Amino acid sequence: MSFRRSLTTCSAIAAVWSTTTYAQELEQVDVFRDAVVATWTASADNGGGALARSFHSSSPSDAMVFPSSGEGSWGAVQARRSTWPVQPVNAGATAADTDLDNAQLELALKGAQLALVEEDIALLRANRQVSGTSEALLVEDLAEVADWMHGEMKDLLFRRVELNMEVAEQERLVASLEKKAAAEKPRGAFFWEVSGLEVSNEAVRTQVVEWGGGQQWSPQDMLSLSSTSGTPQLTWHQRAMVNVDLPSSGKAVPILVHDAAYGGLQQRPDAEPMPMLAYGRQLKAEGVSADRSRSRSDSEWPGTYWTLTEMEVGPHWDRNVPLGQESLPAIVRHFSVPKQSAVVNMRIAVPRPSMPVAAAEQALLMIDGRPSGKVWLTESGDSLLIDAGVVRDWTIERKRESALCAKSTLGNRVKHHRAFSITVSNRSNSAGEVVIDEPLPISNSAEIEVAPESLGEGTLDEASGIVRWSLELKAGESRTIQFSYDLSHGRDQRIPDLD
């Protein structure tokens, strides 16, 4: 009968790594929304040895061993605290520190240059007023000094802009090098060990759950709308911000990005309840396979996931990575309620992509190559709706036509006549549709009456009191809508806003 050892209480022993170490190779990284699972492989001889490494995991529930074949009993497993990388510090750490020192020195020098430029600008401003008598300074001298000061000020202002850009770029470089230097320095790590191993010459697979270090992924989708030619197309770029922190020397491995929260090693399809040994006690395991010949592909977690090509991972590893992309036909509409706000908003409708959609709350939208900002995604049947917000290429203006407005009194009734115009312009390079809503004054009082006179081909919804126009405008076209209505009420009654 196959037996499986349990992960027992770990000991965090601060010691220099001296035990026989087997070749621990990172094989695969599974990234969940809230954790990372690292799969390590190592050769196994009778006795024991180190099987895996971790910066964060020391709990017995954080690791599980899957031998590839063979029968036998497993002994106790514990995590020994040591350092990674082992001393002496490798050449990469020294080089990273040198690069960081040079970058910080260059940043300080650029900062000093910027400070000198600011002093020169302040000095020129303080001496802008030139004083003196006609005997001491000729008019030509004053003109020459003024021209010189103008040219000098112009050069200094340009240099200040250049230095500000160079300082910002250098600050980004220093931040990047600081992260790289931190990744190269020795850190405390846990080396998972096994003792009393009773298998020979096998490849042993160990999966370790990494909870710490902010290891997870989050959607970073980007949407690109092209509306300048033919039918509008929306290209959906699925991207993810992946954060991993593993003691690995930059080994290239496949990364599986799972659209789910981590739910435990027992989620594996090959997890079966089997007896196991832990320090001589027989326990019940929740993750043991009776078939030791299962391959890695048979041990994947259920649910939606994307597989990235092999990428080098290691300490403090974070990347914005592509998951896939798809082009979709888009229906673009524009909406405006000019009485509330003199802007035109855009809404994009696309069919649901064939690829799985990560539940991103917001995505970055590009419209014809220009960034439009973050947008919200909502579901509607088999479609996805994208509220793109205010568009700059469409304008709208609502005006009250004062010359056509009037007020009259007949007995105890007061009558108002109101007239307005709405001008909408399509200043984009493509034709488009715009829907304009105008809420008329409404009241629950039966004694206040609103009677539309002319709606300019608009449609009135009696229930809501909203007049709607749907217009098709060519590129560069403008159109004006005119409408009016009458409102009557008792002499002593309050009325809603008429403008």
* Dist CA 152 CA 155 (whole Å): 5
Decide if pLDDT at 105 tops 70. Answer: yes
Q: Determine the average pLDDT of the residues in 463-475.
A: 90
pLDDT of residue 362: 74
More reliable by pLDDT, 93 or 392: 392
Q: Point out the least confidently predicted range of 40-44, 45-49, 78-82.
A: 45-49
Decide if pLDDT at 444 tops 50. Answer: yes
Decide if pLDDT at 287 tops 50. Answer: no
More reliable by pLDDT, 446 or 173: 173
pLDDT of residue 330: 92
pLDDT of residue 357: 64
pLDDT of residue 266: 61
Q: What is the pTM of this model?
A: 0.64
More reliable by pLDDT, 265 or 39: 39
- pLDDT grade for 220, boundaries at 50, 70 and 90: confident
pLDDT of residue 285: 36
Q: Determine the average pLDDT of the residues in 230-257.
A: 88
* Dist CA 285 CA 372 (whole Å): 53
CA distances from 216 to 35, 188, 211, 219, 497 (A): 5, 21, 9, 11, 53
pLDDT tens track for 290-332: 333 333 434 467 677 888 888 989 888 889 999 888 999 999 9
* Dist CA 146 CA 150 (whole Å): 6
Q: Determine the average pLDDT of the residues in 28-49.
A: 81
DSSP string, 164-218: HHHHHHHHHHHHHHHHHHHHHS-EEEEEEEEEEE---SEEEEEEEEE-STT-EEE
pLDDT tens track for 242-253: 999 999 876 799
Q: Is the dihedral of CA 138, 139, 144, 149 positive or negative?
A: positive
Q: So what CATH class is 395-490?
A: mainly beta
Q: Point out the least confidently predicted range of 16-25, 170-179, 363-372.
A: 16-25
Q: Determine the average pLDDT of the residues in 52-66.
A: 83
pLDDT of residue 455: 85
Decide if pLDDT at 5 tops 90. Answer: no
The pLDDT mean for the chain works out to: 77
- pLDDT grade for 255, boundaries at 50, 70 and 90: very high
Q: Which residues does residue 31 pair with via DSSP β-bridges, in sequence order?
A: 36, 257
pLDDT of residue 399: 94
pLDDT tens track for 336-393: 999 999 999 999 999 988 876 665 667 889 988 888 888 888 888 888 888 888 988 8
Decide if pLDDT at 274 tops 80. Answer: no
pLDDT of residue 290: 33
Cβ–Cβ contacts within 10 Å for residue 409, how many?
Answer: 9
List of E strands, 427-465: 432-439, 449-454, 459-461
pLDDT tens track for 118-171: 888 888 777 765 554 444 445 556 566 667 777 788 888 888 888 999 999 999
* Dist CA 70 CA 46 (whole Å): 13
Residues 6+ apart with CB under 8 A from 261: 32, 33, 34, 35
Domains of the chain: which residue ranges? 4-87+188-215+260-315, 92-184, 395-490
Decide if pLDDT at 477 tops 90. Answer: yes
Decide if pLDDT at 395 tops 90. Answer: yes
* Maximum C-alpha span of the chain: 114
| Inter-residue contact 7 to 193 (CB < 8 Å) | no
pLDDT of residue 245: 92
| Token digits of residue 104 | 């910080």
More reliable by pLDDT, 438 or 443: 438
